[in-house]
Every structure is written in C-alpha cells, then in structure tokens.
C-alpha cells in the first residue's frame, strides 16, 4: 500500500517534529507500507524541491512570489493553489493508493482537487479545528468573519473527503454536530511509544541542589506556556497551599507567550521564592526535570480547544509512571479517571486545584496505585501500535469501496 501524507510543514526531528506524525509514519513503515510526504508552501526554509530529513523523504512545495499572495485570505488561497499543482506532479510520479491529508483544510482541499482528477480516495486526519487554533493564537476572533470563513472551509473538506480520522470523542461529536455521518469518522487516539518511556529515574541530586529543591515537595509543569494551559491558576493556588505545605515549590520548565506574564504574577503574589522558572531546556535534558517533580499539574482552562482536544503530555506522564493532577476540561476527562489514574480538579478554580492537589500531597500512600493505573492505561489502550492498526481498516475499506465501483 502506498500512502501520500500531505502536511503543513516539517521540522527536523531533533527540533520538535510532531510526535504523532512521526509515530504514524514509523508504525506504517513497520507494517510494510510505502509512505511519501509532501509539505505545503507553509513549510519554512525551503531550499530544494525534495530533501531527506532524519531518514524521511519530503517533497516540498515552493512559495509563489507575488505581492498579492501576502494579503490576508488571498495568501491562504495561494497556499492551496500551489499545493494542488505540486500534488498533481507528485501523484503522477509516486502513484499513491491513498491521499492522507493532515489538518487543516488548507491541505485537505488541494487533496480533494487532485482526487477528482486521479480517482484516489482521500482520508482527512483532524487533530484540532483550524478556526479554534486561530482564536487561541490571537489571529482570529471567535465567530468573527475570519472564523466563519475558516469554519466553512473545514466543513467543506469534512463533507467531501472519503473518510475522516480524528484523535478523540470531543472532535468526533463536534463533527457529527456539523452534519457529518458518524460512520464516516474513525477515532485514532493520541498514544505513546511505550518503549521510549520507563519508570521514574533516580533524581539528579546536583540539579535538585542547583534549583534549590533539596528537601522540598515539588509540583510542576513541563511544556509550552500558552494562555490556555492555565498556569496562572496554578500560581494563584500556591499561596492557598503554602500554609499547609511550607516546603512546597512550583517548578515550571519551558517557555512561551505567557512567560513574562507568569513571572509578573509570581511577583505580584509574593511567591517569587517559591516558583522556579527554568526557561526552555534542551530536549535531551527534560527527563532530569521530570525526575524532580512529585506531582505534575495540568491546569488547562475550559474553552472549545481544550474541551474538544485531548493533549499528549498527560499520556507521556502516565507512561513514565508519574503522579498527575489535571483540570476537568473535556480533553482531560477522556484520559483521566479521577482518583484512578490521576486527580481532576475544577478548571479555572485555584481553590479547587489547591484542595485536590493538597490532599494528594497529604496522601503519598495513594501514589503508587495512581502510577500503576496510569501506566496500565497507556500500555493497554494508548500505545501507537494499537492506534495505527486502525488506519489499516480505514484504508482497506476505502480501497475495497473504490474497487467495487469499477
């Protein structure tokens, strides 16, 4: 089977290539399928039309140098137009059996255009809705004109592709609400590569000493500091916990758009000495910081994006046998059963976070069972081999349907 994956962009794997895409490609290769990969004009740093990146071969789509292509809306039209032309060339060359477009619709619509001419079925993989991501990034206003236009493009793609895969029930239910037939949608959830994760390592005592965490209880977060992550709620909860846990510290590892605001908030709350900001750390060093944290906290705020989409970080924490607490947004509730494989607290409520995490800190005898249940969850339900196997059913069903039409 020959699959042509259509992506926005790729980054060298050591610089942060998306884990899900990499896992899918690895597992499909292991199954003996031939995979090909094309990126749209949104991919930055184009130097050649084809290149190898960390053992993967990519076809690139050049940007069209025209002043009008820099204008809002028209620049997206240009992305779809150039990708359509590039796909026509690639399809003639590699002759794929399936076109697998990864969201957003800027990739799916060119795939549909080429499918009309070639007769190749299109699978559309939806990991989030483009319009909601734009709201979160501040480039669009919810239900504004641009939001509605983007949503209409997504709806067009959803209606016309041959099959849809998505990562969670929240997104599937939203698509059904848009009038998409349930049988057209297959959930292929986020997962982890179990073999890459082992149980907790011994902590690096020199790093603990350097960060001032010796003999301290540590709760923390490792990742990007976006507004929707709700890290301000975590900081607001700390003064509520400190009287009962005087040795408690918050370790924040990473960086992002909210970095400055979070540091200012820590100062305003008078907790600068109780919050450690490490800044971004090299990927190969992140494990050392995980090993210093007693309880990982994911305080995501409730909004369309977080209620619909399941995150990957809690799964990685479970795979490592970590103790975790998370807000009760929809994306978390698909992964975490309260008091079974983690703890849930009310989203946006520092008092709820302080109460639930404080109780967890007071009951370390509960931790081993939480760790064991989390690890079992990813081993049995959220490993990549099990998830990627579902693509085989989707692909084969499409090819059989196409064969029966002839």
* Domain positions in the chain: 2-191+383-405, 195-382
Continuous segment of H or E residues that includes residue 47: none
**CA 72, CA 63: separation in Å to the nearest integer?**
15
Cα end-to-end span (Å), the chain: 19
* Count of residues making up the chain: 406
Omega within 30 of 0 (cis) for the link into 104: yes
> Interhelix angle for 105-118 vs 74-94, to 10°?
40
Q: What is the pLDDT of residue 207?
A: 95
Q: Which residues contact 166 (CB under 8 A, 6 or more apart)?
A: 125, 126, 127, 172, 175, 185, 186, 187, 188
Q: What is the pLDDT of residue 353?
A: 98
Strands (E), 104-247: 122-126, 163-166, 185-187, 217-224
Architecture of domain 2-191+383-405: 3-Layer(aba) Sandwich (3.40)
Q: What is the pLDDT of residue 143?
A: 65
Give CA torsion, residues 353, 355, 356, 359, to 10 deg.
Answer: 140
Backbone Cα Rg of the chain: 23
116, 91 Cβ separation under 8 angstroms? no
**CA 112, CA 123: separation in Å to the nearest integer?**
10
Out of 3.40.50.300, 3.40.50.2000, 3.40.1260.10, 3.30.460.80, the CATH code matching 195-382 is 3.40.50.2000
Domains 2-191+383-405 and 195-382 alike in fold = yes
**CA 154, CA 131: separation in Å to the nearest integer?**
9
H helix intervals, 274-383: 286-290, 304-308, 313-319, 330-333, 350-362, 367-380
**CA 50, CA 56: separation in Å to the nearest integer?**
11
Long-range contacts of 133-137 (CB under 8 A, 24+ apart): 133/104, 133/305, 135/304, 135/305, 136/226, 136/227, 136/228, 136/303, 136/305
**CA 297, CA 352: separation in Å to the nearest integer?**
13
Q: What is the pLDDT of residue 71?
A: 61
Q: How many CB atoms lie within 10 A of CB 299?
A: 27
Average confidence (pLDDT) per 10 residues, the chain, 406 residues: 88 55 83 90 82 86 72 77 95 95 94 94 90 62 75 94 95 95 94 75 89 96 94 98 97 95 98 96 89 97 91 92 96 96 98 98 96 94 85 91 76
What sign results for the dihedral spanned by CA atoms 82, 88, 94, 98?
positive
Q: In 3D, which of 138, 135, 88, 81 has the Cα closest to residue 106?
A: 81
């Amino acid at each position: 089977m020959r699959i042509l994956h259509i992506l926005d962009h790729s980054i060298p794997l050591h610089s942060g290539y998306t884990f899900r895409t990499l896992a899918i490609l690895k597992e499909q290769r292991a199954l003996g399928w031939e995979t090909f990969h094309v990126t749209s004009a949104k991919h930055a740093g184009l130097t050649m039309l084809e290149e190898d990146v960390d053992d993967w071969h990519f076809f690139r789509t050049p940007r069209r140098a025209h002043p009008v292509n820099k204008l809002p809306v028209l620049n997206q039209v240009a992305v779809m137009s150039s990708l359509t032309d590039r796909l026509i060339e690639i399809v003639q060359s590699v002759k794929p059996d399936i076109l697998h477009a990864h969201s957003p619709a800027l990739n799916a619509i060119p795939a549909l255009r080429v499918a009309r001419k070639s007769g190749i079925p299109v699978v559309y993989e939806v990991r989030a809705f483009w319009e909601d991501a734009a709201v979160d990034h501040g480039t669009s206003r919810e239900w504004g004109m641009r939001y509605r236009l983007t949503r209409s493009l997504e709806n067009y793609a959803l209606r016309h592709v041959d099959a849809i895969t998505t990562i969670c029930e929240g997104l599937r239910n939203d698509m059904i609400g848009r009038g998409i037939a349930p049988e057209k949608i297959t959930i292929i959830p986020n997962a982890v590569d179990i073999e890459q994760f082992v149980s907790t390592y011994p902590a690096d005592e020199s790093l603990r000493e350097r960060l001032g965490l010796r003999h301290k209880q540590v709760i923390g977060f490792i990742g990007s500091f976006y507004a929707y992550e709700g890290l301000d709620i975590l900081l607001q909860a700390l003064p509520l916990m400190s009287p009962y846990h005087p040795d408690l510290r918050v370790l924040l590892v990473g960086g992002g758009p909210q970095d400055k605001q979070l540091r200012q908030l820590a100062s305003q709350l008078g907790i600068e000495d109780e919050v450690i900001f490490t800044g971004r750390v090299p990927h190969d060093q992140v494990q050392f910081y995980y090993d210093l944290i007693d309880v990982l906290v994911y305080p995501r705020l409730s909004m369309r994006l977080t209620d619909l989409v399941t995150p990957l970080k809690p799964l990685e924490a479970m795979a490592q046998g970590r103790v975790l607490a998370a807000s009760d947004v929809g994306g978390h509730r698909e992964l975490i059963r309260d008091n079974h494989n983690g703890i849930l607290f009310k989203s946006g409520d520092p008092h709820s976070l302080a109460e639930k995490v404080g109780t967890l800190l007071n009951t370390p005898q509960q931790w081993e069972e939480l760790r064991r249940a989390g690890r079992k969850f990813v081993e049995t339900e959220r490993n990549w081999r099990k998830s990627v196997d579902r693509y085989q059913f989707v692909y084969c069903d499409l090819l059989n349907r196409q064969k029966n039409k002839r």
